[in-house]
């Protein structure tokens, strides 16, 4: 039986003016624009007014063809809430969230600290390890250390076995991932990752099914102390290539999402529980997509995305839709969560 999320805020709320913030300086600029376009359409379908704000690759913010300047405490274009549909560095890492905090405007998604922790794949895994969460075996490698101690680093990484996956630690959308099947390829793969990021993560190959789970925060009127957030029905990722790469994620037909995931009921429950636990332990707000590998009854957490893609091929909204939360309703709920959090914040300041 498919998990169903019941939202109690069923009465139509006041229409909001929402700034959709898209683009950005990272390599995921185009993905963000696609996500932002879809979010804008969904917000309008929910009855809200949308103000488009695009961040160019050089970091300049523009709206209606004009560059923007902002004043601390002055909000952003008079909107009620900002939906920062940004992926990767300079957007999903706490930098934009910090700016929005200084502007004193409500915004969707994780705050500064959670955004920074969760985008850093190594730091996030260290946090989860401290909580005893089962994970894929991994090592973090900094570019400076690799340049000084190349042979020692490679010897330490041998403990992971082969194959391994080498990734830039602060990028999403599977950008820059290399699968390494032979010892002689590991050094080159690390050097390639360092082109994108000064920190790389090397992960052991995980057997089993790739499963993803959406997490959605609850409004105060519907939350309880034991359930401040709820998990979607987990979905199974099926793809044709060797691993779930950029092409599989963003090319129509590159992957298939099967809901519910073809894993046991017990494994689905474990995925859902771990997804919410990771969300809460890392201090997230609003939404997240949590990724796992499931092999029989063994569930391994892989990573958490604080602003998952909202493109037509992205899976977060599909999993929530399959769990009873249609796209426009989901976006409306996220905006109202953001406004509620901002109101609490203002109340603490007065």
Would you tell me the crossing angle of helices 150-157 and 186-196 to the nearest 10 degrees?
A: 110
Distance CA 160, CA 153 (A): 12
Closest to 315 in 3D by CA, of 335, 299, 330 = 330
What is the chain's length? 350
The DSSP-derived string for 232-281 is ---EEEEESSSS--HHHHHSTTSEEEESS-SS-HHHHHHHHHHHHHHHHH
Buried b (16+ CB within 10 A) or exposed e, 287-307: bbbbbbbbeeeebbbbbbbbb
Distance CA 216, CA 213 (A): 10
Report the catalytic residues.
28, 173, 250, 289, 291, 303, 305, 309
Closest to 9 in 3D by CA, of 341, 334, 346 = 334
């Amino acid at each position: 039986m498919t998990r169903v999320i019941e939202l109690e805020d069923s009465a139509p709320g006041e229409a909001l003016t929402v700034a959709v913030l898209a683009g950005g300086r990272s390599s995921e600029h185009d993905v963000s624009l696609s996500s932002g376009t879809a979010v804008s359409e969904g917000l309008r379908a929910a009855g809200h007014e949308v103000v488009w704000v695009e961040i160019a690759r050089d970091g300049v913010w523009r709206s209606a063809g004009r560059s923007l300047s902002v004043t601390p405490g002055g909000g952003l274009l008079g909107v009620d809430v900002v939906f920062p549909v940004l992926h990767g560095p300079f957007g999903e890492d706490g930098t934009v969230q910090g700016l929005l905090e200084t502007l004193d405007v409500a915004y969707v998604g994780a705050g500064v600290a959670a955004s920074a922790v969760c985008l850093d794949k190594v730091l996030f895994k260290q946090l989860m390890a401290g909580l005893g969460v089962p994970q894929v075996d991994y090592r973090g490698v900094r570019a400076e250390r690799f340049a000084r101690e190349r042979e020692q680093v490679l010897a330490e990484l041998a403990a992971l076995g082969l194959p391994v996956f080498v990734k830039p630690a602060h990028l999403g959308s599977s950008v820059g991932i290399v699968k390494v099947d032979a010892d002689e390829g590991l050094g080159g793969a690390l050097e390639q990752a360092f082109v994108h990021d000064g920190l790389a993560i090397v992960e052991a190959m995980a057997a089993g099914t790739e499963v993803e789970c959406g997490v959605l925060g609850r409004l105060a009127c519907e939350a309880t102390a034991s359930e401040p957030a709820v998990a979607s029905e987990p979905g199974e990722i099926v793809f044709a290539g060797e691993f779930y790469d950029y092409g599989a994620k963003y090319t129509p037909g590159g992957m298939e999402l099967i809901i519910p995931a073809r894993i046991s009921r017990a494994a689905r429950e474990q995925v859902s529980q771990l997804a919410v636990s990771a969300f809460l332990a890392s201090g997230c707000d609003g939404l997240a997509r949590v990724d796992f590998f499931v092999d029989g009854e063994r569930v391994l957490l892989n990573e958490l995305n604080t602003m998952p893609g909202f493109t037509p091929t992205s899976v977060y909204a599909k999993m929530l839709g399959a769990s009873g939360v249609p796209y426009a309703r989901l976006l409306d709920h996220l905006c109202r969560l953001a406004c509620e959090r901002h109101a609490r914040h203002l109340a603490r300041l007065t």
